[in-house]
């Protein structure tokens, strides 16, 4: 690796010391398909002499097999490592590469141009300081150029290099360069991008990559490498901000030491500084800043340290240590932007896990306020978000969390959404602000609680959640169970699917999103009735496991009993008391469970009833027996 300095051979320790003090710039390349992103990075690696001799030999051999440049080196192959990428000549996954020069160290993310891999682009952009947006000089500004630029703005990258590539294919025309530059800046103004440096390139030929090209004598700006080496990094702004340290781990090696480990995401901290722990609001003073090698007099943004405090304060992973003078906000409801990254759509009302910094909480997204057309920036009405769509939504968490607006701090304002069942990341988002109701609405203390109401009724409250296909027998069995509870002097209430849709949920249809909201509302009503000390019975198809898990999470452990009325589809369809299956088969009823909409059977219900083996009366007996065995009734 013939990089830069003779010190590598003569004085490696001095070289490493100098290398350690270099600043680090993270940047991404993005844009539309085949704009030359991988070639740009490959050329930078080649020009900075960051290739071993065997790597150079390998790329020369690969260029003959996979390359698109005849006998010349195909620099794109340095970063397009997947076989599918080489076969198709595109980037699919995010590729990270490290290189350095005399002046700076770099980590570059080569992100995909295809729309279907937008989620991969978001991954690469999430930690970048600069975005290099590639444009093919022959094609100009394209849809994916606009999409990636909007995502760059959304992610909070402030510095953009507009790299107009393949200038050799338009005879290095200044007119083409000016036209693309003007068109892009007009669009960038709409999305709030203003710090733009436009550079004409030919990555393949090396024009304006590391040295000014004689082919563009009309251009007097920096080369791409020159810009990357000298542009200001955002560290200065972050270090000037208020202290934020999300606690990653509580370090307790012995009885005499208790420290709080984490990365300082903004600001600085010194021993003696007054800090506030959030969300609890407790305050203390920093006693020590512990780091590898000894205590520090100061820690700044970008450093991972351990803080000890002068007072015994209850702090755990996910809490944020903030400056007492300028603490983070604390709220549980927000407006946010979301980029949806999953094949299954975002469904309002469905519970997801939200990871913000080092804290993971349960979150529910309300119906999107609008989604954004990235070509026109038009705001479009939306019931849900599909793969790669971007929308503005309200989001509610199950507890208050400390946060900053994303534009002020990426680490305490950016989040991901996680599917609770698969643990896959399904969305990425940025917090705008706390909703006013998050500050104005507070739980009111009442003296008569669930325990008092239950004692008065002489019973333990619970939710009996009957689920199954239409025609399975849910309502029939639930009605028989309630009759028996009533005869025993128990206080109960039956929430039936059809009855609820005549009142509380009469505004909802039968789309997936409406079905999710239907079950969410019923779950909330059931929770209130359990708080009133009642035994609540619900008879709903409730086809999705995620919503049934949400309903379960609303009540205490042991208070939710899932009863799967397990009736085969052919048997349920054969009954067809309401004629709904016939309508669905004729195409007159859309999104009907079991026909053109899925039913996800419970995986571990408290009780499974096979109605091909038990009568409705015997099934009701089984439910009563379960209630007795659990001590819910005498």
Q: Among all residues, which ones are annotated catalytic?
A: 542
Sequence-distant (≥ 6) Cβ neighbours of residue 71 within 8 angstroms: 63, 64
Q: Does 462 show up as a binding residue in the annotation?
A: no
Alpha-carbon gap, residue 198 to 182, rounded angstroms = 10
Q: Does 38 show up as a binding residue in the annotation?
A: yes
Q: Does 365 show up as a binding residue in the annotation?
A: no
Q: Does 111 show up as a binding residue in the annotation?
A: yes
User: Smallest Cα–Cα separation from 136: which of 127, 144, 125, 128?
Assistant: 144
Say whether 175 sits in a helix, a strand or coil: helix
User: Smallest Cα–Cα separation from 468: which of 455, 481, 477, 457?
Assistant: 477
Which residues are paired to 320 by β-bridges? 246, 278
Q: Does 316 show up as a binding residue in the annotation?
A: no
Q: Contact 556/432 with Cβ under 8 angstroms?
A: no
Q: Does 76 show up as a binding residue in the annotation?
A: no
Q: Does 267 show up as a binding residue in the annotation?
A: no
H-helix or E-strand spanning residue 618: helix 616-629
Q: Contact 321/280 with Cβ under 8 angstroms?
A: no
Q: Does 533 show up as a binding residue in the annotation?
A: no
Name the maximum alpha-carbon separation found in the chain: 96
Burial of 254 (0-12, 13-18, 19+ CB in 10 A): exposed
Alpha-carbon gap, residue 553 to 555, rounded angstroms = 6
| Helix locations, 198-303, DSSP H | 224-230, 235-240
Burial of 584 (0-12, 13-18, 19+ CB in 10 A): buried
Q: Does 610 show up as a binding residue in the annotation?
A: no
Alpha-carbon gap, residue 131 to 121, rounded angstroms = 11
Q: Does 192 show up as a binding residue in the annotation?
A: no
Q: Does 457 show up as a binding residue in the annotation?
A: no
Q: Does 80 show up as a binding residue in the annotation?
A: no
Q: Does 89 show up as a binding residue in the annotation?
A: no
CA angle, residues 379, 383, 385, in degrees to nearest 5: 75
Q: Does 474 show up as a binding residue in the annotation?
A: yes
Q: Does 631 show up as a binding residue in the annotation?
A: no
User: Smallest Cα–Cα separation from 394: which of 439, 349, 428, 360?
Assistant: 349
Q: Does 470 show up as a binding residue in the annotation?
A: yes
Q: Does 507 show up as a binding residue in the annotation?
A: no
CB-based burial, 355-391: b 16+ in 10 Å, e otherwise: bbbbbbbbbbbebbeebbebeeeeeeebbbbebbbbb
E strands present in 3-101: 23-31, 95-100
Q: Does 475 show up as a binding residue in the annotation?
A: yes
Q: Does 168 show up as a binding residue in the annotation?
A: yes
Q: Where is the binding site, in residues? A: 31-38, 110-114, 165-168, 468-475
Q: Where is the binding site for ATP, in residues? A: 468-475
Q: Where is the binding site for GTP, in residues? A: 31-38, 110-114, 165-168
């Amino acid at each position: 690796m013939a990089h830069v300095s003779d010190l590598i051979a003569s004085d490696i320790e001095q070289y490493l010391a100098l290398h350690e003090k270099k600043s680090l710039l993270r940047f991404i390349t993005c844009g539309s398909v085949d704009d030359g992103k991988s070639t740009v990075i490959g050329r930078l690696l080649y020009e900075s002499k960051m290739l071993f001799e065997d790597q150079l030999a390998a790329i020369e051999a690969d260029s003959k097999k996979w390359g698109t440049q005849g006998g010349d080196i195909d620099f794109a192959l340095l970063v397009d490592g997947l076989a599918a990428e080489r076969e198709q000549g595109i980037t699919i996954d995010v590729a990270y590469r490290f290189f350095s020069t005399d002046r700076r160290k770099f980590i570059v993310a080569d992100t995909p141009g295809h729309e279907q891999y937008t989620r991969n682009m978001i991954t690469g952009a999430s930690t970048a300081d600069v975005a290099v947006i590639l444009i093919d000089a022959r094609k100009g500004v394209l849809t994916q150029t606009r999409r990636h630029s909007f995502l760059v703005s959304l992610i909070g990258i402030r510095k953009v290099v507009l790299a107009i590539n393949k200038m050799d294919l338009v005879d290095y025309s200044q007119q083409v360069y000016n036209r693309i530059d003007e068109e892009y800046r007009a669009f960038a103004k709409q999305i709030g991008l203003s710090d733009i440096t436009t550079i004409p390139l030919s990555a393949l030929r090396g024009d304006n990559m590391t040295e000014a090209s004689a082919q563009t004598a009309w251009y007097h700006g920096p080369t791409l490498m020159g810009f990357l080496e000298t542009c200001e990094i955002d560290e200065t702004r972050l270090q000037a901000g208020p202290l934020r340290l999300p606690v990653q781990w509580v370090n307790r090696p012995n009885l005499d030491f208790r420290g709080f480990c984490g990365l300082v995401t903004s600001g600085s901290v010194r021993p003696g500084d007054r800090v506030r722990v959030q969300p609890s609001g407790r305050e203390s003073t920093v006693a020590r800043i512990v780091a590898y090698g000894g205590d520090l007099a100061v820690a700044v943004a970008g450093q991972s340290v351990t803080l000890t405090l002068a007072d015994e304060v209850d702090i755990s992973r996910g809490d944020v240590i903030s400056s007492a003078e300028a603490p983070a906000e604390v709220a549980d409801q927000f407006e946010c932007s979301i980029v949806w990254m999953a094949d299954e759509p975002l469904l309002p009302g469905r519970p997801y896990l939200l990871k913000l910094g080092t804290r993971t909480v349960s979150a529910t997204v309300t119906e999107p306020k609008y989604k954004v057309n990235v070509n026109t920036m038009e705001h479009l009405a939306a019931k849900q978000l599909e793969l790669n769509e971007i929308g503005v939504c309200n989001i509610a968490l199950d507890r208050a969390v400390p946060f900053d607006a994303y534009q002020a701090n990426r680490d305490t304002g950016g989040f991901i959404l996680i599917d609770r069942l698969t643990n896959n990341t399904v969305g990425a988002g940025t917090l705008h602000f706390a909703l006013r109701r998050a500050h104005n609405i507070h739980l009111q203390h009442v003296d008569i609680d669930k325990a008092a109401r239950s004692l008065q009724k002489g019973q333990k409250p619970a939710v009996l959640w009957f689920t199954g296909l239409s025609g399975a027998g849910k309502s029939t069995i639930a009605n028989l169970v309630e009759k028996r509870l009533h005869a025993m002097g128990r206080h109960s209430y039956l929430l039936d699917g059809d009855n609820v849709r005549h009142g509380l949920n009469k505004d909802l249809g039968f789309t997936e999103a409406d079905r999710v909201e239907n079950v969410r509302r019923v779950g909330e009503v059931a929770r209130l009735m359990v708080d009133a000390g009642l035994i609540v019975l619900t008879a709903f198809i409730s086809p999705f496991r995620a919503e049934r898990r949400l309903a379960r999470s609303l009540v205490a452990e042991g208070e939710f009993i899932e009863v799967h009325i397990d009736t085969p589809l052919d048997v349920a369809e054969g009954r067809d008391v309401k004629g709904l299956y016939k309508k669905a088969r004729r195409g007159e009823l859309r999104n009907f469970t079991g026909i053109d909409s899925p039913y996800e059977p419970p995986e571990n219900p408290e009780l499974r009833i096979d109605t091909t083996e038990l009568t409705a009366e015997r099934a009701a007996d089984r439910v009563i027996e379960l209630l007795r065995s659990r001590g819910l009734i005498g």
